[in-house]
Amino acid sequence: MKALREASSGRAIEVIDQTKLPFALQWVTLRTAEEVAHAIKTMVVRGAPLIGVTAAYGLAMNAGAYDLLKATRPTAVNLAWALDKVRTSRDLWAAAREIAASESEACRRIGDFGLPLLEKARRGDTLRVLTHCNAGWLATGDWGTALAPIYAAKAAGLKLHVWVDETRPRNQGGLTAWELGEAGVPHQLIVDNAGGLLMMRGEVDVCIVGADRIAANGDVCNKVGTYLKALAAKDNGIPFYVAAPESTIDATLASGAQIPIEERDGSEVRGWNGAKLFPDAVPVGNPAFDVTPARLVTAIITEKGVRT
């Protein structure tokens, strides 16, 4: 499955509009760097690796759009990583294509490395996994990061059950549920606060999430709410894995405290998809990511192997 493809006509790309999922599967064409920047900012495309790949094509459309593209979202380091790779290439379009291919291959390998870890965590007949946000093929272009070992487990014939965090306020859990449904992986969508209870009851064997930036000390920045799941996993002796390509590692930052956390518009908390949940006058905060300290992470799975 692909979340981005090159358009057959000219130097343009087509992406799945993720703001329309899971209700409608619509592809949109992006022809200019400005359109690409807008799609990233408004989360038509989202997920750290896919943001990087999409921005890479945006720069290939207009070599002068580096700053515009880099400013779209601050937390996922894959964005700057991809832009820097394209900027220093001779053929920008070929470089973007190469990033798309290499990120896809990285995710496939993450699936291979992650599968034995999931198998090892299984306590009964069925492997019960909890995941947060969406770190599937929608977020990466192909395979996914956290979902890649789950897809590998499905392909290996393991009995599976995935607990899918809703992930307020943007409800990326709906994207994960949609992906898993398409793949025939048994799952249940749960509200963000249910995970602790399920872990305490022994209904979760293992947690696996993606990442937007990993600091040199192994602190992991991911979708807000990840930290609370890691705390609950630790308290209940449940392994907590992070799956990400090497492009998500920011070796320039000593610890997670230095990672910029995106603060998004309050309207995302006050409502969803046109529905009002709270009056406009209600003051809200909307930090989009949090940092899970390395001590709560059992291991990080990349395309190069498993780092503990």
Contacts of 110 (CB under 8 A, 6+ apart): 143, 145, 148, 149, 243, 244, 245, 301, 302, 303
CB of 302 to ligand MRU, least distance (A): 12
Q: How far is CA 242 from the centre of its chain?
A: 11
- For ligand MRU, the binding residue among 3, 47, 111, 127 (CB under 6 A) is 47
Residue 176 found at the interface with ligand MRU (CB under 6 A):
no
- For ligand MRU, the binding residue among 176, 222, 292, 298 (CB under 6 A) is 222
Residue 54 found at the interface with ligand MRU (CB under 6 A):
no
Residue number, 92 or 113, with CB nearest to ligand MRU: 113
CB of 166 to ligand MRU, least distance (A): 13
Burial class (CB in 10 A: 0-12, 13-18, 19+), 138: buried
Q: Which residues are catalytic?
A: 212
**Identity of the amino acid at 174:** G
Residue number, 92 or 300, with CB nearest to ligand MRU: 300
CB of 145 to ligand MRU, least distance (A): 4
Q: Which of residues 225-264 bind ligand MRU (CB under 6 A)?
A: none
Burial class (CB in 10 A: 0-12, 13-18, 19+), 256: buried
Stretch that binds ligand MRU, among 9-17, 31-39, 44-52, 92-100 (CB under 6 A): 44-52
Residue 74 found at the interface with ligand MRU (CB under 6 A):
no
Q: How far is CA 133 from the centre of its chain?
A: 7
Write the CA distances from 160 to 100, 123, 140, 187, integer angstroms. 29, 12, 22, 8
The per-residue DSSP string of 14-69 comes to EEE-TTTTTT---EEEE-SHHHHHHHHHTTSS-SHHHHHHHHHHHHHH-TT-HHHH
Residue 49 found at the interface with ligand MRU (CB under 6 A):
yes
Residue 46 found at the interface with ligand MRU (CB under 6 A):
yes
Q: How many CB atoms are located within 10 Å of the residue 188 CB?
A: 12
CB of 216 to ligand MRU, least distance (A): 19
CB of 221 to ligand MRU, least distance (A): 8
Write out the residues near ligand MRU by the rule CB under 6 A: 46-49, 76, 133, 135, 139-140, 144-145, 172, 210-212, 222-223, 288
